[in-house]
Chain A
Amino acid sequence: MTFLNSPLLWTIAGAIGVAVPVIIHLLHQRHRRHTDWAAMELLRRALVVRSGQVKLEDILLLLLRCLVLALVAFALVRPTLEDQAEGGLLGEQRVGMVIAIDASFSMDHGKYDTRMEEARQRVSKILETAKEGDPITIVLMAESPRTLLRGANFNLDRCNDALEKAEVFPERFNLERATVELATLVDELKGSVKECYLVTDAQAVDWANFSKEAANGLETLARKSKLFLVPVETEGRENLAITDFSYASGSLGPGGLSRFTAEVRNFGLQTHDGGSISLSVNDRNGTPRSFGPIKPGESRLIDFYPDLDLSGDANLTASLGRNDDALAIDNRRMASVRVSDRIRILCIDGEPFAGDGPGETFWLRKALELNQLGDDASIEVVVTDWQETDPSAIGEYDLVFAANVEEVDSSIARSLDSFVRKGGGLVLFAGDRMDLPSYNENLGGLLPGELIGISAFGEGSETVGDSPGETSWTLAEPTSSHVLSQLTRTMPQEGRDAVRFRKSMEIRPDDNATIVLSLSGNGSPLVLEKQVDSGSVLFFATTADRDWSNLVVHPLFPMLMQQSITHLTNRPEAGRAGNLNPSESDLGQASAESLEEALSPLNAVVIPIAANLGGIVKETRKGTEISRTLLILALLVFLLQGYLARLFTNRMTSKGESSLQESLRKHTVVAARRT
């Protein structure tokens, strides 16, 4: 026997309920009223006749009243006889169903009928087993759930209307989240039988090896309800999809050259003959690019160099040409970037009167103004002395570079903080003039970590691993997915090793900071980035001149500076949102056998496509709720105790009462007839 409502809660309620008449009885006895009485002898004689009987009657009434409340409490727990197949006289079978339909975009596959159409038909079969009044929940499951019906009493027309609204979303099927949501919906159902149906195309990517989280979720679902997996399928699984399309490198300014890469993947079982892919910028179609045959499971990268002459936001869409696969939704992919026609950069010079050789701003200006000519230059660099920096003017620039600035006072710090949070980019270079406490205190919210101090090569254990005779560090192998890291990785190893660092600023990174580049040997961070609201801060743990390293005279330096400009002002990575999850493009389905094997520990039922769905459902459906019977029983006991109470109280009928009164009236005056 199981209970549809919390047994503990209702047992407590029932116990309280049963205690009520007992307490009332005791209080009733305790709070008796008092009166003086003259006719004690008459009363005593009446009691002799009735007292024993009264006690028995009291106990009987008390027991019956307790029984009424116990039965009601038991009925409220809604006990269910699990082995009872049909309602019959004993109770009723109320089936609560949660029907979850996979609404990920793979369900749109199909040349004729889509998988979603198949799913609707399968759901209709399930609904044929429901009775009027059964609580039904229909929910679409993709990345997040969309409820079509929630705990509604079954009505075929209403259910069909809801099914008509079932549609596919450009999302993946999130099995982990789905199980959690479904468990909640199952809990809401009130029925002697609870069933949960997962109507899905059972993609192998989701179902062949589901995660531990998903397994736990399914186990919970199977514990709370009878779990059915209802697979649907369509003919064929050939599918060519663009799985990635993104900015790769280059300048996004007017006249700059940028590279975008599209990845085309063959998810089918047969080699694709090849085709074409075209790129449109703001709906202006470019020249299609062809690609050759792609084997099953393989990908092809295709580069595009779009013409981004116009400033403003640019929407780029890569689309496959004519393609005969049955899933069109994944044949295109989008990216968006912001193209700026003019970028203003403020360079704050922390060492304006350096005696020997060019200072930091000299090298920075060279790297930032690369290939910029006269008035047509899209990048404007303004250099200022750190002591003459106007805090109120910072907001007029797109980027701020600060090199070896000695101190950051609170007014500058506030301006920089506001500037970054509104979307500006801040690039900081280290140097031996920096007053670290003032940085940590005033720029703590912007720095990607706490500045500790300057370390020089050969002063500590950082030399471990370096070759004997080495006098400086080199760049460590770039491993981050950050655009600057990827850019560095494009440079040959020999070229990277030519960059030598004698000193660096030690920094303890924050948790939300990204380490872009590191030094070899001690592994200390060289370049870090921290996102602060809409803007970001790049920190270089070396100088922007030749004091600590030869980076500024290495070809990598202008590349890093140019890429930093693009990265901080155009943010091409942000334009990837809204694209499809490529894993859904793999239409391969888990076999019924593998599903049964995977779900057998959960006692779940996999209903093969060819099987009689309605028959299997009805055959496995067991459970009868007996609360109605209990309530009827409680009512009968209640009526019985009411009848007995009336009987025991000996309330005289009007006839009996009038008879006694008449008798007393006749006796009122009797005048004796004397002889």
Chain B
Amino acid sequence: MQEKYLDTDTLDAIGPLDVVTRQVVEGIRIGMHRSPIRGISTEFSAYRQYVPGDEIRHIDWKLYARTQRYFVKLFDAETNFVANLLMDASASMTFGSGNITKLEYAKYMVASLAYLIVDQRDSAGVGMFDGSLQRYIEPKSTPGILADISREMEKVEPKPRTNVADVLHEFAGRMTRRGMVMVFSDLLDNTDEFIKGINHLRFRGHNVTVFHILDPQEIEFPLNGVWRFEGLENDGELVTQPARVRQAYLRELEQFIGKVRGACIKSEADYVLVNTAEPIESVVSNYLLQRMAARIR
């Protein structure tokens, strides 16, 4: 891969793992995922006694001849899924204490996951938003979409004020079929509104994963001395000694994370706290392993 956000090392590290969804979703393409829609596939699954309403064409007449009973043949349909990856491109995502900003990190993650999805012939679409949906690439399963994603992400110009909730509501209305929605954001917005957006997506039957991206400095707040903090979202500035307020800040952070995480659990959405100090492949691998483990259970 030659595209900027499709890092070969990252993809190699993630490669052996498949993107496995927990739920079987319907798809327009025959893929490797089980579908609840029986009879579309040619792969036999089981017999079931005929009940009124079943389609006559699904009755196994040979078995009727042997048993004098009506049985309907059931088939596992192989489908693909549509994944929409929504990346927060607001100004707050431009913060980065190390070599990489949260936005850059999110871009790498989005590109990597999109590649894995397309590689297994599922469809991936990407949306980039700040106050509203800034750019949207319709889901496709062709490899060419990866180049489109990378190109579009390079054009992103961060703007202040994220409104994740509105974007989630908009998506909930836009997606006609159930699918997968992955949100990449620092969620430094109105938490209650965000939770409503998640609930809306879940209500529409989508499988939602929230990647909560934070910088290590935001997580550990290790600064000493006197600092002037200037808000990236046009929210003023503050002068303080971080060491003196560190404990209070960390408590606030813990509460904030706890609230988002709790809301996700309640809505049956996946929640992933991402520290940009950690390698991307590690984060993605860890997430996929957790999902597989949850499927096995």
**Cβ-closest chain B residue relative to A668:** B273
Instruction: Tell me if A664 and B244 are in contact (CB < 8 A).
Output: no
**Of the residues B95, B252, B261, contact of A37 by C-beta under 8 Å:** B95
**Cβ-closest chain A residue relative to B243:** A649
**Of the residues B92, B102, B250, contact of A660 by C-beta under 8 Å:** B250
Q: Which of B6-14, B64-72, B115-123, B283-291 contacts A (4 or more CB under 8 A)?
A: B283-291
**Cβ-closest chain B residue relative to A41:** B188
Instruction: Tell me if A46 and B252 are in contact (CB < 8 A).
Output: yes
Q: Which residues of A contact B218 (CB under 8 A)?
A: 38-39
Q: Does A650 contact B (CB under 8 A)?
A: yes
Q: Does A57 contact B (CB under 8 A)?
A: yes
Q: Which of B125-133, B172-180, B264-272 contacts A (4 or more CB under 8 A)?
A: B264-272
Q: Which of A25-33, A251-259, A466-474 contacts B (4 or more CB under 8 A)?
A: A25-33
Interface residues on A, range: 35 or more
Instruction: Tell me if A32 and B271 are in contact (CB < 8 A).
Output: no
Q: Does B23 contact A (CB under 8 A)?
A: yes
A33 to B243, CA, bound (A): 14
Q: Does A212 contact B (CB under 8 A)?
A: no
A249 to B253, CA, bound (A): 115
Q: Which residues of B contact A652 (CB under 8 A)?
A: 246-247, 250
**Cβ-closest chain B residue relative to A37:** B229
Q: Which residues of B contact A611 (CB under 8 A)?
A: none
B164 to chain A, nearest CB (A): 14
Instruction: Tell me if B225 and A672 are in contact (CB < 8 A).
Output: no
Instruction: Tell me if A667 and B271 are in contact (CB < 8 A).
Output: yes
Q: Does B233 contact A (CB under 8 A)?
A: yes
A40 to B286, CA, bound (A): 30
Instruction: Tell me if A664 and B261 are in contact (CB < 8 A).
Output: no
| Chain A, 38-61, CB within 8 A of any chain B CB | 38-47, 49-51, 54, 57
**Of the residues A41, A49, A51, A667, contact of B235 by C-beta under 8 Å:** A41
Q: Does A674 contact B (CB under 8 A)?
A: yes
**Of the residues B22, B236, B261, contact of A670 by C-beta under 8 Å:** B261
A130 to B233, CA, bound (A): 77
Instruction: Tell me if A38 and B244 are in contact (CB < 8 A).
Output: no
Q: Does A1 contact B (CB under 8 A)?
A: no
Q: Does B231 contact A (CB under 8 A)?
A: yes
**Cβ-closest chain B residue relative to A44:** B238
Q: Does B281 contact A (CB under 8 A)?
A: no
Q: Which residues of B contact A668 (CB under 8 A)?
A: 272-273, 275, 286
Q: Does B230 contact A (CB under 8 A)?
A: yes
Instruction: Tell me if B235 and A40 are in contact (CB < 8 A).
Output: yes
Q: Does B215 contact A (CB under 8 A)?
A: yes
Instruction: Tell me if B241 and A54 are in contact (CB < 8 A).
Output: yes
A210 to B232, CA, bound (A): 89
Mark B89-123 against chain A: 1 for CB-CB distance below 8 A, else 0: 00011110000001000000000000000000000
**Cβ-closest chain B residue relative to A675:** B268
Q: Does A663 contact B (CB under 8 A)?
A: yes
Q: Does A673 contact B (CB under 8 A)?
A: yes
| Chain A, 1-45, CB within 8 A of any chain B CB | 28-29, 31-45
B287 to chain A, nearest CB (A): 6
Instruction: Tell me if A57 and B273 are in contact (CB < 8 A).
Output: no
Q: Which residues of B contact A664 (CB under 8 A)?
A: 219, 254, 257, 273
Q: Does B51 contact A (CB under 8 A)?
A: no
Q: Which residues of B contact A37 (CB under 8 A)?
A: 95, 229-232, 238
Q: Does A651 contact B (CB under 8 A)?
A: yes
Q: Does A393 contact B (CB under 8 A)?
A: no
On whether A673 and B226 interact (CB within 8 A), knowing A39-B188, A40-B236, A651-B243, the answer reads no
Mark A644-675 against chain B: 1 for CB-CB distance below 8 A, else 0: 00001111100010001001100111111111
B83 to chain A, nearest CB (A): 16
A642 to chain B, nearest CB (A): 15
Q: Which residues of A contact B219 (CB under 8 A)?
A: 664
Instruction: Tell me if B293 and A667 are in contact (CB < 8 A).
Output: no
Instruction: Tell me if A667 and B258 are in contact (CB < 8 A).
Output: yes
Instruction: Tell me if B226 and A29 are in contact (CB < 8 A).
Output: yes
Instruction: Tell me if A28 and B233 are in contact (CB < 8 A).
Output: no
Instruction: Tell me if A47 and B245 are in contact (CB < 8 A).
Output: yes
Instruction: Tell me if A38 and B233 are in contact (CB < 8 A).
Output: yes
- Interface residues in chain A, defined as those with a beta carbon under 8 Å from any beta carbon in chain B: 28-29, 31-47, 49-51, 54, 57, 648-652, 656, 660, 663-664, 667-675
